[in-house]
Structure 1
């Protein structure tokens, strides 16, 4: 399929395939955590360096605050910083049919199976009614290696081989999907072939970026460039080969020809890794034989577990389209880290959680710098990020705040699992810096005698006027939650809790209420009849579901709010984590049937290979939907403080094990 490839991968590396088990007919992507590229800087006068970007000053409570927003006077360097660095497609691997022009339609007897237990793909087809080809594709759990076995009687007559092709980086499209890279700009980049015994290395140079592709084969073969102007190489098995040809392809920032694994070694280690993955952590068994909804939910659970291990378990937080293609130039969003990683804590997959949770420590210096530049204390987290910790310019990017308390959630979940001094020390400096910003950002309103959040700001739904947005409901609750955790963290260590933390927490603005229901933010007009504010993310329901109930929460008001959302919201434009959020709220309210209905809502589609296809506003696979589904299911399986799981429809016979209790 052109949209949703089958994939093999390890969280830091993914290889998408077509019907051949390679990338023969469709240039599905080979993406990694480390594969990034910077385009040339602009040549516009006074816009030739990132230091020439100054952002914009915006009135914020009677003072000018500098925000990382595109500056009309610095259009070129602003756009360069938005688009750079961008993630690159490392290369394409496909079948070569002896120079013949073979199309997918010419193949017969096509069959393909993804083995979830082993993390491998088995593909088969015939050409001309004979000459059957079998291919096994598997990725190493340790390196960015794809290992391939081809079985066919035509391997030794010169009519079947393998090609390797390398594209130029795009960097011009916010969404580089479904295929990443530019394949016809051959003069913009260079490749160099170096031969060694039973192997070859291709060095790929794109401006100042370069990396290596080590190809190792296990029997007689030769490789050569297809033409002087192409970045395409053909690997031809020798005439003395038997019916099996095995090889591996390893992508890396440095070549390591002496350490390249063999195909069967990769397959064995992959099988061992995936077996361990499936046998440890949480597991839920639903009554799939007796109930269609249970069967569909079980399918989504299992396929999401596989796809998130491939696409959402890297050393950096996942981009929203994982390693399938590029969204937002391949960058990841710090406000989405909750939805990408929280499920690992509930399902007790801590080794995968550990891979990228260090982002908060690594990004602390740039977060402190951002806050200081704006006149705040502590550390202000960015939004649309790359591995350097820089946040891409953008009006929404620089005015979001709901990413701030995420470290408090993760620290608390980690402490519940590992209540040690090591955990306290790991998070102490991070939570302190984040809490210091949170209380510094809160503005004391002399008229109302409370601390306000905003303006200017965007709430979680990103669909309001930032100059009018003050005291959004979810952010108020999350602020109080975060400062509660920060205080507990200090007390566990015998440290003095700063008075300002308690003062802001206890005196922050109340949740805004109009006509007996909670609303998006204080003073909003016609919320329920204005399309822009009664669609997208129904974040205000996160008060009770995503978050444990706040002591200020009025359940009568909240129940009325839920009814109002159900009646008035345009769910056609909801997507991603919206439906898991709705499911969490329904489950907390004692309605697991409704929770399941939300997870299986028609607007929350998962395709046949398990890809969360997003929604009306998202054009790529949208993995917060998959991770959010696992978070909701995990909380329903393991329960939360005060309510033991499992919490599923009463008629369902459900078995669960290995889940951590949520807050």
Structure 2
């Protein structure tokens, strides 16, 4: 199955009026909302029927749940309550989830004093939870056949509660008073902010510093709340079902996780990255099914590592070296035998596939054939980005063998040494040599052009270090060419930090800042700090790129903040960051 016809909300909390109807938006006036990212609390207010309503909301730091406090005279007057319902999809509209009867959904509810316990079953999936009153006089009304319950205030103008979700029923010790939860949440976020790396741009003269710092601060908060769990998320994080049915993409794991290494918060990526060890058996089977050695990593995946049946999933290849990159990140942070033992099987199985995939031609060259480019606008032979990343990955795997006292693997070296060189072409405006997208296109979508989307030509020297065959001068020419000629209005949010990394690595810091902050709708970060107001890979890219520009990278110029212009306009103060590869 490539999609999920039954996307599920764990639950939905919303205000209702005295008749049990959801508050009509046309009657809500003067809404205000403020998110305090230092303490992890959202404070909102609005007017309803001329009466003010104040709401404090917390996401629990140690459990799956929320805590809410409401203050309003409407509570005392019985004109407002709270409803918890469990909307479902209708099996036809993919992401529309509402009420209505459904024979495959079962909801059981039990009310005991100031607590409502519930259990939800959908086919073979079961989850449980509880809803407890912490403050105020109120009572629960349960309607399990309608998959909802209501909290009806009886007296007072303050009501607070906690709602929890999990695989087991929460015990009494799971609940705390709202003020206690508020303090715990504030402590949790203070610990987060006081750990890891930090960057201060406030002494800069360049007027763009404030926007860049805003993106940095909010991106840290957003990635911590959306991408620090048991698996990477889809591009929209935990904020929606979205167009990928909630499935994550293995190639995008880099943008969701790599920044934790350079911001010294690696522990937040570790659980999700165990997917490589967990998915290894199925990745081996996938490679064998296609008559390759080693492990082939998929693109769009289920939580158990199965790949969505789609030709693009088979052809896309730039996710393949990622586990070697992640393994090297962890080794740089923890260079010990424990790290080597943890990752060596994944690294070697990945390299085995990478050595068996290229096709040897009559000249003894190894070609990457029929590759769906990172851009996904076509299929080609010997794409620039993948070719450079392939060589880097094979060479790095050899380093891992040496660290473990093993001899180099001859077949890996033969492929790395004889990969087809990156194809060159001329910039039509300047005549300079630049890297071409690929050696040969096999197929391109007739509706698409190949000068928009991800600028793959710069990928082989962005977060990927220089390898043999990648001339720094030609790389610098290529960055300038892409900056001048690319259709930036038809790309994605991570393309801007991706290009900024390439500009920094080719020692063009002014261009790096220009690309990072390019005035473009696709490079917009909303008031909430989200790229495009939904696309989190852009946020992860900004975090990695700026940390790299501040703390440097292997082979960077020996000066402070080598990725920023040394022109007196930027004052970059930082601490706790780690040098990029």
Give the match for residue 607 of structure 1: 526
Q: CA deviation at 1:597?
A: 2.1
Instruction: Summarize the Cα distance change of 1:558–1:145 in structure 2 as closer, same or farther, 3 Å threshold.
Output: same
| Aligned positions of 1:335-346 closer than 5 A | 335-346=251-262
1:489 aligns with 2:410: no
Would the aligned equivalents of 2:233 and 2:246 in 1 still touch at CA under 8 Å?
A: no
CA distance in 2, matches of 1:153, 1:552: 71
Would the aligned equivalents of 1:378 and 1:437 in 2 still touch at CA under 8 Å?
A: yes
Give the match for residue 597 of structure 1: 514
Q: CA deviation at 1:363?
A: 0.6
Stretch of structure 1 that moved more, 585-594 or 393-402:
585-594
Give the match for residue 59 of structure 1: none
Correspondence for 1:221 among 132, 138, 163: 138
Aligned residues, how many? Answer: 563
- The TM-score, its normalising length taken from structure 2, stands at 0.92
Would the aligned equivalents of 2:454 and 2:491 in 1 still touch at CA under 8 Å?
A: yes
1:408 aligns with 2:321: no
CA distance in 1, matches of 2:377, 2:62: 42
CA distance in 2, matches of 1:383, 1:100: 45
Correspondence for 2:239 among 324, 344, 349: 324
Correspondence for 1:116 among 37, 49, 60: 37
1:253 aligns with 2:170: no
Instruction: Summarize the Cα distance change of 1:540–1:252 in structure 2 as closer, same or farther, 3 Å threshold.
Output: same
1:279 aligns with 2:200: no
Give the match for residue 430 of structure 2: none
Q: CA deviation at 1:87?
A: 5.1
Q: CA deviation at 1:187?
A: 5.5
Q: CA deviation at 1:399?
A: 1.1
Instruction: Summarize the Cα distance change of 1:185–1:606 in structure 2 as closer, same or farther, 3 Å threshold.
Output: farther
CA distance in 1, matches of 2:101, 2:271: 35
1:460 aligns with 2:374: yes
Q: CA deviation at 1:398?
A: 1.3
Q: Equivalent residue of 1:237, what SS?
A: strand
Give the match for residue 244 of structure 1: 158
Q: Equivalent residue of 2:372, what SS?
A: coil
Give the match for residue 302 of structure 2: 386
Q: CA deviation at 1:290?
A: 4.7
Instruction: Summarize the Cα distance change of 1:316–1:338 in structure 2 as closer, same or farther, 3 Å threshold.
Output: same
Correspondence for 2:56 among 115, 124, 136: 136
Instruction: Summarize the Cα distance change of 1:105–1:597 in structure 2 as closer, same or farther, 3 Å threshold.
Output: farther
Give the match for residue 67 of structure 1: none
CA distance in 2, matches of 1:171, 1:396: 26
Give the match for residue 577 of structure 2: 659
Q: Equivalent residue of 1:522, what SS?
A: strand
CA distance in 2, matches of 1:526, 1:318: 31
Q: Equivalent residue of 2:228, what SS?
A: coil
CA distance in 2, matches of 1:570, 1:229: 53
Instruction: Summarize the Cα distance change of 1:196–1:289 in structure 2 as closer, same or farther, 3 Å threshold.
Output: farther
Would the aligned equivalents of 2:475 and 2:506 in 1 still touch at CA under 8 Å?
A: no
1:201 aligns with 2:117: yes
Stretch of structure 1 that moved more, 411-420 or 203-212:
203-212
CA distance in 2, matches of 1:630, 1:580: 9
Correspondence for 1:639 among 552, 564, 576: 552
Q: CA deviation at 1:207?
A: 2.7
Q: Residue deviations 1:111-148, cap 9 Å, x none?
A: 32101001110112233333x32211001111101011
Q: CA deviation at 1:599?
A: 2.0
Instruction: Summarize the Cα distance change of 1:526–1:459 in structure 2 as closer, same or farther, 3 Å threshold.
Output: closer
The gaps in structure 2 that reach 5 residues or longer are 427-432
Give the match for residue 418 of structure 2: 507
Would the aligned equivalents of 2:228 and 2:269 in 1 still touch at CA under 8 Å?
A: yes
Would the aligned equivalents of 2:377 and 2:448 in 1 still touch at CA under 8 Å?
A: no
Instruction: Summarize the Cα distance change of 1:243–1:182 in structure 2 as closer, same or farther, 3 Å threshold.
Output: closer
Stretch of structure 1 that moved more, 489-498 or 636-645:
636-645
Q: CA deviation at 1:384?
A: 0.5
Q: CA deviation at 1:217?
A: 1.0
CA distance in 1, matches of 2:55, 2:550: 38
Instruction: Summarize the Cα distance change of 1:153–1:289 in structure 2 as closer, same or farther, 3 Å threshold.
Output: farther
1:99 aligns with 2:19: yes
Give the match for residue 84 of structure 2: 164
Would the aligned equivalents of 1:216 and 1:260 in 2 still touch at CA under 8 Å?
A: no
Q: Residue deviations 1:327-364, cap 9 Å, x none?
A: 30000000111111111101111121112111111110
Q: Equivalent residue of 2:109, what SS?
A: strand
Q: Residue deviations 1:397-416, cap 9 Å, x none?
A: 11111111101111111111
Correspondence for 1:303 among 211, 214, 218: 218
RMSD of aligned alpha carbons = 2.3
Q: Residue deviations 1:457-513, cap 9 Å, x none?
A: 20111111x3xx111111111111111111111101101222111111111111112
Q: Residue deviations 1:489-545, cap 9 Å, x none?
A: 110110122211111111111111234321111124999x99521111101201222
Would the aligned equivalents of 1:97 and 1:160 in 2 still touch at CA under 8 Å?
A: yes
Give the match for residue 474 of structure 1: 385
CA distance in 1, matches of 2:7, 2:259: 25
CA distance in 1, matches of 2:348, 2:442: 37
CA distance in 1, matches of 2:20, 2:86: 21
Q: Residue deviations 1:6-65, cap 9 Å, x none?
A: xxxxxxxxxxxxxxxxxxxxxxxxxxxxxxxxxxxxxxxxxxxxxxxxxxxxxxxxxxxx
Would the aligned equivalents of 2:7 and 2:97 in 1 still touch at CA under 8 Å?
A: no
Instruction: Summarize the Cα distance change of 1:273–1:344 in structure 2 as closer, same or farther, 3 Å threshold.
Output: same
Would the aligned equivalents of 2:129 and 2:170 in 1 still touch at CA under 8 Å?
A: no
CA distance in 1, matches of 2:492, 2:98: 30
CA distance in 1, matches of 2:214, 2:47: 30
- The TM-score, its normalising length taken from structure 1, stands at 0.81
CA distance in 1, matches of 2:33, 2:494: 31
Q: CA deviation at 1:186?
A: 4.9
CA distance in 2, matches of 1:86, 1:586: 44
Would the aligned equivalents of 1:145 and 1:251 in 2 still touch at CA under 8 Å?
A: yes
Correspondence for 1:418 among 328, 334, 338: 334
The gaps in structure 1 that reach 5 residues or longer are 1-80, 615-620
Stretch of structure 1 that moved more, 165-174 or 511-520:
165-174
Would the aligned equivalents of 1:89 and 1:169 in 2 still touch at CA under 8 Å?
A: no
Would the aligned equivalents of 2:107 and 2:145 in 1 still touch at CA under 8 Å?
A: no
Give the match for residue 28 of structure 1: none
